[in-house]
């Protein structure tokens, strides 16, 4: 660079960013055209993690597919499980018992915390704040242990079933969860002291990657990225599902739609999730934890191994041509996943496998809008903007 402040040279340079780069969180790729240090044109490429989820949906039955949804947004698998079974249940026209709805809300909010925590850790890591990464993983490990005790797995949970969840909450769940939400705001405060008024953090994120609310809607942005622009749209409020209308929580919004606002919105959402979890624990209803309709829901394992009726039910549900068979038709069902609107559009031909399963991932739209936020900015902002969007390659490419 010549002349100190001179940023542009008139000569263009092409920089290939990714698909293997620490800040791309997996497999994203952006081709940047640079003039000096400013970005003239950014072309995102995707598909490096294309796995054929939608095709697989046409070959697996409805309960088998839950396993596949785990691996879509791997930061918060429980939200995916939840969104998917909700779509199938709506196609079937069934509603699960209230306790089950509460359990699902609990798990969805816990996984929202886990998702935002990992986002926080990696976004801060990308901008050089390594301690935040360690702090957020410390909290995430506590969540992992709750997930593991509930579902049997740290990451790939497959907790929900069509018609319920596969087992009830464990005995000490309430204690563990209360313990977590009591201590979590304190831990979050540590991050606030490290980042929120930190001069470097503010310089790197304030005004960086800003998008107006009109543009955000036009690009199809949802979730925290949309709310950071000032649109108070949350599907949990707009189209309440699974008893969300019974919870009292706020929808945080930003004003500028820049990386800093996205950070603040996500931080506040974590506090609101804690509120929802506390209410759900206080009012957790008794009763069955899943539908007791044996045509849809798998019988309990002890039942399947111990009684002939249970065994027959189990057999009928797992066999081809039996089990979960929604009537002919189609449905689109959207839930508010940590990243935004996660939609499942399922077309059923009346058989045990979906005819077409379309997943509407939030990250796809966020990554698409990236050039809009990058162009005209500096090359070093690329990392800050990409980090603030939380693009998950698994759901981006499916």
Site string for other proteins, 180-209 (x = CB under 8 A): ------------------------------
Strand partners of residue 164 = 161, 290
The answer to the question of residue 393 lying near other proteins (CB under 8 A) is yes
Q: Please tell me whether residue 358 binds other proteins under the rule CB under 8 A.
A: yes
Q: Name the one range near other proteins by CB under 8 A: 99-107, 164-172, 247-255, 353-361.
A: 353-361
Binders in 304-333 for other proteins, by CB under 8 A: 326-329, 331-332
Structure tokens at 355: 């005819």
The closest alpha carbon to 331, from 89, 10, 152, 122, belongs to 89
Q: What are phi and psi of 209, to 5 degrees?
A: 65, 40
Q: How far apart are CA 137 and CA 117, in angstroms?
A: 7
Q: Cα separation of 143 and 322, whole Å? A: 37
Position of tokens 């699974």?
A: 242
Q: Does 217 bind other proteins (CB under 8 A)?
A: yes
- Which is closer to other proteins, CB of 28 or CB of 280? 28
User: Do 177 and 146 meet the contact criterion of CB atoms below 8 Å apart?
Assistant: yes
Q: Per rule CB under 8 A, is residue 26 in the interface with other proteins?
A: yes
Residue 208 phi, psi (nearest 5): -95, 130
Dihedral over alpha carbons 165, 168, 172, 177 (to 10 degrees):
30
Q: What residues from 126 to 165 belong to the interface with other proteins (CB under 8 A)? A: 133-135, 137-138, 140-141, 144, 154-156
Q: Is residue 243 close enough to count as binding other proteins by CB under 8 A?
A: no
Examine residue 116 and tell whether it contacts other proteins (CB under 8 A). Answer: no
- 41 binds other proteins, rule: CB under 8 A: no
- What is the footprint of other proteins within residues 65-94 (CB under 8 A)? 67-68, 70-71, 74-75, 90-93
CA atoms within 13 A on the CB side of 196: 11
**Residue in 360, 363, 381, 382 binding other proteins, rule: CB under 8 A:** 360
Stretch of residues binding other proteins (CB under 8 A), selected from 20-28, 104-112, 287-295, 301-309: 20-28
SS3 of the chain: helix, strand, coil, percent, to 5: 50, 15, 35
294 near other proteins, rule: CB under 8 A: no
The residues in 44-63 that bind other proteins, with binding defined as CB under 8 A, are 46-52, 54-56, 58-59
Smallest separation, CB 9 to other proteins (Å): 27
Task: Assign 149 to helix, strand or coil.
Answer: helix
Q: Name which of 71 and 278 has its Cβ closer to other proteins.
A: 71
Vertex 272: Cα angle to 124 and 125 (nearest 5): 5
Of the candidates 61, 126, 258, 397, which one interacts with other proteins according to CB under 8 A? Answer: 397
Instruction: Tally Cβ neighbours within 10 Å of residue 243.
Output: 17
Size of the site for other proteins (CB under 8 A): 76
Instruction: Identify the CA nearest to 156 among candidates 221, 43, 76.
Output: 76
336 binds other proteins (CB under 8 A): no
Q: DSSP E strands: which ranges in 282-363?
A: 329-337, 340-348, 356-360
Name which of 362 and 377 has its Cβ closer to other proteins. Answer: 362
Which residues between 90 and 109 bind other proteins (CB under 8 A)? 90-93
Q: Per CB under 8 A, does 394 bind other proteins? A: yes
């Amino acid at each position: 660079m010549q002349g100190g402040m001179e940023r542009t040279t008139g000569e263009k340079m092409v920089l290939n960013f990714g698909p293997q780069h620490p800040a791309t969180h997996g497999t994203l790729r952006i081709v940047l055209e640079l003039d000096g240090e400013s970005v003239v044109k950014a072309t995102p490429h995707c598909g490096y993690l294309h796995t054929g989820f939608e095709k697989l949906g046409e070959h697996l039955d409805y309960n088998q597919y839950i396993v596949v949804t785990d691996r879509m947004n791997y930061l918060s698998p429980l939200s995916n499980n939840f969104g998917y079974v909700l779509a199938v249940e709506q196609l079937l026209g069934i509603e699960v018992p209230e306790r089950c709805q509460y359990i699902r809300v609990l798990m969805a909010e816990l996984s929202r915390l886990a998702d935002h925590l990992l986002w926080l850790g990696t976004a801060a890591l990308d901008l050089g704040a390594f301690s935040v990464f360690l702090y957020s993983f410390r909290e995430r490990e506590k969540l992992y242990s709750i997930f593991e005790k509930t579902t049997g797995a740290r990451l790939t949970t497959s907790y929900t079933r069509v018609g319920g969840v596969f087992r009830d909450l464990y005995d000490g769940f309430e204690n563990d969860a209360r313990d977590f939400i009591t201590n979590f705001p304190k831990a979050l405060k540590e991050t606030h002291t490290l980042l929120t008024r930190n001069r470097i953090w503010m310089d790197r994120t304030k005004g960086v990657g800003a998008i107006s609310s009109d543009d955000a809607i036009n690009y199809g942005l949802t979730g925290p990225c949309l709310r950071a622009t000032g649109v108070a749209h949350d599907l949990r409020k707009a189209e309440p599902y699974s008893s969300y209308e019974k919870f009292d929580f706020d929808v945080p919004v930003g004003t500028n739609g820049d990386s800093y606002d996205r950070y603040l919105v996500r931080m506040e959402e974590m506090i609101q999730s804690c509120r929802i979890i506390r209410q759900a624990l206080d009012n957790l209803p008794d009763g069955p934890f899943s539908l007791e309709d044996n045509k849809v829901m798998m019988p309990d394992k002890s039942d399947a191994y111990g009684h002939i009726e249970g065994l027959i039910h189990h057999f009928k549900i797992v066999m081809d041509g039996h089990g979960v068979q929604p009537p002919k038709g189609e449905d689109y069902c959207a839930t508010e996943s940590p990243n935004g609107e996660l939609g499942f559009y399922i077309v059923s031909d009346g058989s045990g496998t979906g005819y077409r399963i379309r997943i509407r991932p939030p990250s796809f739209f966020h990554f698409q809008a990236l050039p809009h936020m990058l162009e005209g900015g500096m090359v070093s902002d690329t990392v800050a903007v990409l980090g603030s969007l939380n693009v998950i390659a698994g759901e981006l490419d499916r």
